[in-house]
Amino acid sequence: MSLPSLDHFNFREYDHFYEPAEDTYLLIDALQADADLLRYSVRPRVCLEIG
């Protein structure tokens, strides 16, 4: 899974959102590790990261 690109944001916009950090990448790693279970068994509708 590729990580989202933030290249489309300019420097001033960084004050208005949480830039991905270690916890974001930990969530992505966990989702990748359980991707098949989530996709075929649990089938969640929403994944929410509260940074």
Answering whether pTM is above 0.85, one says no
* pLDDT per position as a tens digit, 4-47: 777 888 878 778 877 778 888 888 899 899 999 999 999 888 87
Angle at 4 between CA 19 and CA 15, to 5 degrees: 25
- Non-local (6+) Cβ contacts of 16 within 8 A are none
Instruction: Identify the band that residue 51 occupies on the pLDDT scale cut at 50, 70 and 90.
Output: low
The span from the CA of 31 to the CA of 39, in Å, is 10
So what's the pLDDT on residue 35? 92
Domain that holds residue 37: 1-51
Separation CA 13–CA 8 (nearest Å): 10
Region of 4 on the Ramachandran plot (φ > 0 left; ψ -120 to 50 alpha; else beta)? beta
How many domains is the chain built from? 1
Confidence check: pLDDT of 1 > 70: no
